Amino acid sequence: MSNFLAPKDSSSSSKSVATSSTNAGAKDISNNSRSRPWVEKWRPEKVEDVSHQDEVVRTLKVSIQAGNLPHLLFHGSPGTGKTTTILAVARALYGPELYKSRILELNASDERGISVIREKVKSFAQGSVGNQRTPGYPCPKFKLIILDEADTMTADAQSALRRVMEAYSRVTRFCLICNYVTRVIEPLASRCAKFRFRPLPVHSMIERITFIGNQEKVNLAPGALDTILSASGGDMRKAVTFLQTSHQLACSSSNITDMTSTSKNAMVTSEMVVDVAGQVPVTVMDELWKKMTGTAFEGMQYAVDKIIAEGYPMSAILSQLHDDTLKKSTISDVNKSLICEKLACADLALADGANEALQLLDVAAYMMRRLKGQTNLVDRLVAAH
């Protein structure tokens, strides 16, 4: 369902990379940093450089200045800055020297059962903090335990954490991070100050992607930025990755090995972004729509077979059908809602392992009937109830 819930803002404008002076975090591009993934290379290091999450940033800056922090719970969609923010908070609290010794970071790659809470977390939490200080940093007298992807912790582990959080709150603060806040048990959530990280809106994404594009000397053709934004759906990690991959694709297709000169670099086109993002090209979707609004079932079936044979990801096709349906003024509101429901059911069926070709054919046949204003007996019975 995530595809259907992902916010989209179509108000973005076509523009090539322009200079952005407001972006903080500019760094010299050193030789050895060139090979790093851009998501890591351009991960904001200061809390104030985190785009868009204004309330979170404002509140945390007050906490940093006071040198005090409640237990925290960050939740929200992927790639919106949760991990980045807590790492920046830890850096601002302890400074680069103490930072490593004062935090314990556990993520989904670590064991998440009750034994880890009893041993690793508890023993780190109960240890006292030394008197070392780094000049210029608050260096509060508590340690920080970051439990990233906390929604993957077992219920037992979460229950065990309640007591640990209370018992050692004098010397330890916890930061739980998750995508789905409902998967964190309520007693744990109620011990924390909750911060929701919103998907990034178009203007914040444009600002950040433009900034990174300038620093990395990317040539963006008109429309390419729009495609990056629509393909990433508010996920900054995806947007930065698409920018880097399409830049590499553009340079490699023009046999350019030195990718650090704007004048020499090949142009990143919208088609290249579509390619690296695994999206379905507009021409292919247009063809499918044409067949679905036509009268011949065979024509529609041929278009579906062609899409499946090309190997486009079904999640992208359903997501694009969903967006196109909502945009089309010729489709009535009732039909829009019924089509969206059908798309959601297909998405669920696919998640349960259904056959892609059959699901797409089913969806397309249903849409064909809807678009022609026809309903079959089953539709009528469903509508009657």
Q: Applying CB under 6 A, which part among 51-59, 274-282, 283-291, 308-316 lies near ligand ATP?
A: 51-59
Among 12, 83, 179, 269, binds Mg ion (CB under 5 A): 83
Q: State in angstroms the smallest separation of the CB of 48 from ligand ATP.
A: 11
Nearer to ligand ATP, 78 or 223 (CB): 78
Q: What is the 3-state secondary structure (H, E, C) of the chain?
A: CHHHHCCCCCCCCCCCCCCCCCCCCCCCCCHHHCCCCHHHHCCCCCHHHCCCCHHHHHHHHHHHHHCCCCCEEEEECCCCCHHHHHHHHHHHHHHHHHHHHHEEEECCCCCCCHHHHHHHHHHHHHCCCCCCCCCCCCCCCCEEEEECCHHHCCHHHHHHHHHHHHHCCCCEEEEEEECCHHHCCHHHHCCCEEEEECCCCHHHHHHHHHHHHHHCCCEECCCHHHHHHHHHCCCHHHHHHHHHHHHHHHHHHCCCCCCCCCCCCCEECHHHHHHHHCCCCHHHHHHHHHHHHCCCHHHHHHHHHHHHHHCCCHHHHHHHHHHHHHHCCCCCHHHHHHHHHHHHHHHHHHHCCCCHHHHHHHHHHHHHHHHCCCCCHHHHHHHHC
Does 236 help bind ligand ATP (rule: CB under 6 A)? Answer: yes
Q: Applying CB under 6 A, which part among 34-42, 55-63, 279-287, 299-307 lies near ligand ATP?
A: 34-42
Using CB under 6 A, which residues numbered 177 to 216 contact ligand ATP? 179, 197, 200, 208
Does 42 help bind ligand ATP (rule: CB under 6 A)? Answer: yes
Does 50 help bind ligand ATP (rule: CB under 6 A)? Answer: yes
Site size toward ligand ATP (CB under 6 A) is 23
Among 12, 17, 23, 43, binds ligand ATP (CB under 6 A): 43
Does 83 help bind ligand ATP (rule: CB under 6 A)? Answer: yes
Q: State in angstroms the smallest separation of the CB of 2 from ligand ATP.
A: 12
Nearer to ligand ATP, 143 or 238 (CB): 238
Q: State in angstroms the smallest separation of the CB of 82 from Mg ion.
A: 5
Q: State in angstroms the smallest separation of the CB of 179 from Mg ion.
A: 8
Interacting residues with ligand ATP (CB under 6 A): 39-40, 42-44, 50-53, 78-84, 179, 197, 200, 208, 236-237, 240
